[in-house]
């Protein structure tokens, strides 16, 4: 029971900080800071809570996947990055599709089928930020979660920047990948670090 409670608290902290990062990045887009998103579809205030859910899920999927696969063989763990990234990209885009872009629920829930029908369904969620979660999951697998704050923040930032670069290069401005990726990466990396600092057991992370 204590182990389950510790995992739940860790996931809550990481999800909360991921949500804070997503809300902050959405506010930047809504406010046009440092410049408006090109071809801005007239964002409204629902962008903020939608962005919060988006940021939270991008952080929760890789951490939850790591908790499940941390004791598996390395080759198997690396393969897990594929479903982690796909699911994170797919699920995390639903609130943005519904509340930020004002699409109906039917299209929002099945958005990959509408955006890229056919084989595009296999890669589209990765392009829409799924690579962020896949890269962060791989960082956790390679270096473990019991690392310094700087390492965790750097891993999160690299995942956030590189994983969102395709999206922002397409929708512009491209350098939003650096700004938004850094905000998300530092906060989620801090969540992983704080989650480990608050527990002395091995339920969250590897030595």
180/188 Cα distance (integer angstroms): 12
Query: Tokens 């897990």 — which residue?
Result: 80
Handedness of CA 185, 203, 75, 88 (dihedral sign): negative
47/95 Cα distance (integer angstroms): 9
Alpha helices by DSSP H, the chain: 2-31, 47-69, 74-95, 105-109, 111-115, 120-125, 131-143, 149-171, 176-197
List the pLDDT tens digit at each of the 207 positions of the chain: 446 666 888 899 999 999 999 999 999 999 999 999 987 667 889 999 999 999 999 999 999 999 999 888 888 999 999 999 999 999 999 999 999 888 999 999 999 998 877 788 999 999 999 999 999 999 999 887 677 899 999 999 999 999 999 999 998 899 999 999 999 999 999 999 998 877 544 445 543
- Both tokens of residue 102? 């004002």
**Distance, CA of 166 to chain centre:** 15
- 18 and 199 in contact (C-beta within 8 Å)? no
- 45 and 183 in contact (C-beta within 8 Å)? no
| Neighbour-count burial of 121, counting CB atoms closer than 10 A to its CB (0-12 exposed, 13-18 middle, 19+ buried) | middle
Tell me what pLDDT residue 2 has. Answer: 47
Reference 112, options 74, 73, 86; nearest CA is 86
pTM for this structure?
0.91
Query: Tokens 């704080």 — which residue?
Result: 194
Query: Tokens 């002395």 — which residue?
Result: 200
Tell me what pLDDT residue 42 has. Answer: 77
| Neighbour-count burial of 115, counting CB atoms closer than 10 A to its CB (0-12 exposed, 13-18 middle, 19+ buried) | middle
């Amino acid at each position: 029971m204590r182990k389950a409670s510790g995992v739940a608290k860790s996931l809550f902290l990481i999800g909360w900080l991921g949500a804070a990062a997503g809300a902050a990045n959405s506010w930047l887009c809504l406010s046009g800071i440092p410049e408006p998103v090109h071809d801005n579809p007239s964002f409204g205030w629902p962008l903020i809570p939608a962005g919060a859910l988006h940021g939270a899920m991008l952080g929760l999927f890789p951490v939850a996947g790591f908790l499940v696969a941390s004791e598996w063989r390395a080759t198997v763990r690396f393969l897990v990055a594929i479903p982690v990234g796909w699911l994170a990209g797919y699920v995390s885009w639903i609130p943005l599709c519904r509340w930020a872009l004002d699409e109906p629920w039917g299209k929002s829930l099945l958005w990959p089928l509408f955006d890229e029908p056919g084989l595009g369904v296999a890669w589209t969620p990765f392009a829409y930020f799924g690579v962020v979660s896949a890269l962060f999951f791989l960082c956790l697998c390679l270096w473990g979660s019991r690392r310094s704050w700087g390492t965790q923040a750097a891993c999160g930032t690299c995942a956030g920047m590189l994983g969102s670069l395709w999206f922002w290069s397409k929708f512009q401005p491209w350098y939003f990948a650096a700004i938004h990726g850094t905000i998300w990466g530092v906060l989620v990396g801090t969540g992983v670090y704080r989650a480990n600092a608050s527990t002395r057991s091995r339920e969250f992370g590897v030595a």
